[in-house]
Amino acid sequence: MMRENNEMNFRSLEKEEIVEVTIERSLFIGLSFRVQNPNEIHEKVKATQLRFPDATHHCYGWRLGGERVQEFSTDAGEPRGTAGRPILGVLRRHELWEVLIMVVRYFGGKKLGVKGLTAAYGYTTDLTIQKSGTREFFPSVHFTIHSDPVFYPLLVNQLIAFTRRKEGVHVDPQSLVIHLSLPLSRKEATLDFLEKELREKRVISYSEMG
């Protein structure tokens, strides 16, 4: 089922996981991530590339839903269509959204050919999703909030109390930025809350993330 608008429930990963599989002497490492916007995807990709700097290839595919469908894949140096396309194809087959799958390859000295590579990347992606598990999620809304340094700790506590879910409040004390995620049904109440905090000068600015 295509996710045509942000009012629909959607299926995504239960948790983030990592798997390793050796195929014809090459090591394939699959990593799964829950992601909500292109900026977060970029950060996850860069972090994984730094985590495995000596890998031969860092291939991936991702899908985002909402008001419009966004999806992308890259072969990252593998023959065209042998890595990114099968990764994305598995995500489509499982009807997953807000998900990034990276498959890191360490070449083992034996070439797999087009069919072998396509099968290896698809198989690793399937294993990664199986280990991650999937479930239904409700659509959510996301805000980036910039706080006055004096009120930063207070605002963080207020947001945790307001959202009633600590895991939805992600803090970055160095930049005084707060990333807020909560169900879409609470968007209007959140806007009212943030406007009040803006008037009280505890919030310097905020923006809704796409």
3-class secondary structure, 149: helix
pLDDT at 65: 80
The larger pLDDT score, comparing residue 181 to residue 131, is at 131
How many alpha carbons fall within 13 Å on the CB side of residue 157? 4
Work out the number of other CB atoms within 10 angstroms of the CB of residue 98. 23
Q: Do the beta carbons of residue 178 and residue 159 sit within 8 Å?
A: yes
Domains in the chain, CATH or no CATH each: 10-137 (3.30.230.30), 140-208 (3.30.70)
User: pLDDT tens digit string along 48-83?
Assistant: 999 999 999 999 999 998 667 899 999 999 999 999
pLDDT at 184: 78
Report pTM: 0.68
The conformational region for residue 156 under phi > 0 = left, psi -120 to 50 = alpha, else beta, is: alpha
Task: Report the candidate in 140, 152, 190, 119 with the shortest Cα–Cα distance to residue 40.
Answer: 140
Q: DSSP string covering 11-61, please?
A: EEESS--EEEEEETTEEEEEEEEE--SHHHHHHHHHHHHHHSTT-SEEEEE
